[in-house]
């Protein structure tokens, strides 16, 4: 699938983007393990989350769709999952794959997780190593999927110092720790998303946070609850970017999750001079939300590093497009984790920007971008949805049409991206 983007004149309107993917995954996982019925509203119905739903249905959890984006989960309790009849296919979802690996390591039966071609080449050593230290038995294809988990008598809780901050690794270990003997604790070298800790507490499971150390004791229980999934900030970022770089634009993104452990993109864009105003701030299900009013802005280049990168790692492709449209030079460092995402996102962004006439230097852990005028051209997204959507927005301010190739995976995380984009004034067509 190829996106064809024409230059835009101005943007206006109000949008509610799809539900937060991280919260959606975790609501299905913990709702399935809870005692009683959990109600989840405004869930993200992309392929990633649907793969998680399918996996828990395969493990015997009754999950019923009760309306548009609304689900009821009849939790089976911590020890109520049953062995699926076949390998569970997580598609393109690295989040679900890593979280379920930790959970499945503590079950009393064997299981296998597989994924699509992209997922099959993504390294899983960052979870295999610490889970193995807890006693888990995990077979892999040289550190990559598929993964096969063999039951052990009991996982043993222990402390693990993460070399790189990662919410997925942290969550995988905490989920395994619920089935382990004793206390499982994780220390983070920097901040990462805290959705798992917030939601575990919301389901009544005691989680302790002391400085950079997060810990829990195995053997606890989860109690059902109701969850309203906030709009996904990562998905909203593409429209925030559009509203900032397309002249004479003003758009409103409604009920966006602005959890401080993942709103780094807002801080980075503010540092670049972005006009983004939060209104109607509230707390919904333990997660802070707000409406975001976005207006066209004269962005300036800056240096982005350290915790700024850690708190905006998924949004770096979009930030890179903002940098390409800014005055001056932007330097991004400390983003080596982007090398092992759905694509090598550093290389993917650098190649795409160069194809649109942007001067950019590739670094081992980031890039140096010289802002200026974008021209029309062709960009390969390498099957990576975030690259595809970032350059789809870039096309709105290019001097000619931009063609973005290999966009089929946009449906994985943001099925109605193109519809919403066109609603506010972007022009994105599709060619099969």
Read off φ and ψ for residue 309, nearest 5 degrees.
-70, -45
CA 331 to CA 362: how far, in whole Å? 10
314 catalytic residue (yes or no): yes
> Which is the catalytic residue, given 48, 314, 380, 384?
314
Whole-angstrom distance, CA of residue 305 vs CA of residue 79? 43
**Angle, vertex CA 393, rays to CA 390 and CA 395, nearest 5:** 115
* Integer angstrom CA distances of residue 350 from 245, 303, 368: 19, 17, 9
**What pairs with residue 367 in β-bridges?**
332, 362
- CA 399 to CA 256: how far, in whole Å? 31
Contact 370, 332 (CB under 8 A): no
- C-alpha angle 3-96-206 in degrees, rounded to nearest 5: 135
Active site members: 314
């Amino acid at each position: 699938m190829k996106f064809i983007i024409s230059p835009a004149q101005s943007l206006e309107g109000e949008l509610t983007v799809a539900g937060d993917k991280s919260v959606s995954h975790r609501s299905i996982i913990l709702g399935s393990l809870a005692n009683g019925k959990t109600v989840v509203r405004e869930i993200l119905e992309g392929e990633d989350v649907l793969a998680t739903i399918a996996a828990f249905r395969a493990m015997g959890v009754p999950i019923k769709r009760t309306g548009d984006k609304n689900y009821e989960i009849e939790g089976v309790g911590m020890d109520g999952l049953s062995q699926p009849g076949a390998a569970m296919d997580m598609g393109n979802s690295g989040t679900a794959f890593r979280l379920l690996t930790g959970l499945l390591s503590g079950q009393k039966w064997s299981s296998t997780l597989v994924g699509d071609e992209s997922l099959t080449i993504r390294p899983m050593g960052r979870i295999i190593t610490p889970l193995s230290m807890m006693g888990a038995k995990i077979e892999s294809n040289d550190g990559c999927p598929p993964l096969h988990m063999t039951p052990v008598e009991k996982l043993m809780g222990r402390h693990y110092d993460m070399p790189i901050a990662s919410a997925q690794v942290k969550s995988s270990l905490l989920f395994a720790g619920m089935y382990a003997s004793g206390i499982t604790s994780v220390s983070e070298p920097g901040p990462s998303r805290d959705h798992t800790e917030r939601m575990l507490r919301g389901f009544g499971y005691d989680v302790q946070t002391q400085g950079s150390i997060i810990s829990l004791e195995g053997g606890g229980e989860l109690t059902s609850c109701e969850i309203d999934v906030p709009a996904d900030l990562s998905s909203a970022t593409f429209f925030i970017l559009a509203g900032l770089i397309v002249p004479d634009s003003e758009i409103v993104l409604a009920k966006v999750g602005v959890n401080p452990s993942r709103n780094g993109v807002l801080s980075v864009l503010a540092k670049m001079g972005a006009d983004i105003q939060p209104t109607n701030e509230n707390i919904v299900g333990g997660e802070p939300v707000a409406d975001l009013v976005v207006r066209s802005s004269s962005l300036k280049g800056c240096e982005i590093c350290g915790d700024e990168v850690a708190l905006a790692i998924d949004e770096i492709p979009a930030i890179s497009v903002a940098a390409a449209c800014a005055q001056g030079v932007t330097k991004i460092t400390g983003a080596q984790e982007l090398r092992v995402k759905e694509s090598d996102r550093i290389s993917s962004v650098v190649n795409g920007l160069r194809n649109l006439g942007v001067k950019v230097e590739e670094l081992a852990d980031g890039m140096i971008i010289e802002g200026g005028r974008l021209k029309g051209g062709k960009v390969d997204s390498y099957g990576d949805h975030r690259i595809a959507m970032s350059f789809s927005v870039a096309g709105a301010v290019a001097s000619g049409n931009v063609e973005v190739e290999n966009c089929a995976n946009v449906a994985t995380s943001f099925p109605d991206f193109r519809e919403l984009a066109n609603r506010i004034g972007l022009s994105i067509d599709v060619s099969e």
